[in-house]
Structure 1
Amino acid sequence: MLSNLFKRGAVTAGAACLAVAALGGVAHADPGVPYIKPSQRGDAVACVQMGLRDAGYNIDVDGKYGTATYTALTDFQANRSLQPDGIVGPRTGDRLYFDYLAKSGNVTQSELCATLIPTTR
């Protein structure tokens, strides 16, 4: 009787953990996601640009990391006590993703960018 109770409890606990993991939400960048730097192109740069736009910067989302992106990003970093180096590493990625992209209400944007922006979580 006691062993059956423990088995049921373990199964229930396991199911609860799976449910929380499945519903827990936001996908995160895989370990080793490369930093985003000047002169790059692609979806990761577009995610940075969308985050900057969501943060109030008037910037085009074209996927090209040029002067406008650098200027906006270094200003974003300086205003948030981050090193204004124009590189999106995990600390800058946390601020862009969790403070803006994840809260944007755009599910496609937040899910795609979660896999492309380096974060600490």
Structure 2
Amino acid sequence: MLKKIAAKAGLALGVAALVVGATGGPAGAVQGAGYVGDGYANSGAGVWCAQHLVNDIARKVGHPEIPEDSTWGPRTKAQIAWLQDRLGLKADGIVGPDTGNWLLYSGSQYYGGKNGYCFWNLPSDWRLEAMYVPTNLD
């Protein structure tokens, strides 16, 4: 009887350790969310998120939108480069952590933000969460 209780307790502790280990890591970094852009293995979800969130930002400032077709191409690259240029980032048209941070922070909070669907599909270290950074997106 005591062995059964000890075994169940050990199993529960092992599962808890796995859960904590799986959710740990660098401050808010999304593990496995790769860069989006030329030369990267672009997932349909990552590309769609980049398109959707950059369109949301474009709409807010009166900039033309692009199709949200989950396909990386020259129009998506140009739209990402437009955003990067407007933010003072390197306008290479690639969504890395810096651009991912801005997309998640400034785009639709339903899909973006720290709990939205796109948080898991775009690279980010979520540095912008604790600060308000005025930009020419305001």
Q: TM (normalized to structure 1)?
A: 0.66
**One-letter code of the match for 1:30?**
V
* Aligned position for 2:104: 97
Q: Deviations over 1:25-67 (max 9, x none)?
A: xxx6523421111373501100000011101141110000111
Structure 2 alignment gaps of length 5 or more? 1-27, 59-63, 127-138
Query: Does structure 1 residue 72 correspond to structure 2 residue 74?
Result: no
Q: Which one scores higher on RCO, CA 8 angstroms, separation ≥ 6? A: 1
Work out the CA distance in 2 between the residues paired with 1:48 and 1:69: 8
Q: Which runs of 5+ in 1 are unaligned?
A: 1-27
After superposition, residues 38-117 of structure 1 pair within 5 angstroms as: 38=38, 40-56=42-58, 57-102=64-109, 106=110, 109-110=111-112, 111-117=116-122
CA contact (8 A) 1:101 1:113 kept: no
How far apart are residue 101 of structure 1 and its match? 3.0
Q: Is the Cα contact below 8 Å between 1:29 and 1:117 reproduced in 2? A: no
Task: Normalising by structure 2, report the TM-score.
Answer: 0.59
Contact 2:55–2:65 under 8 Å retained in 1: yes
Identity %: 28
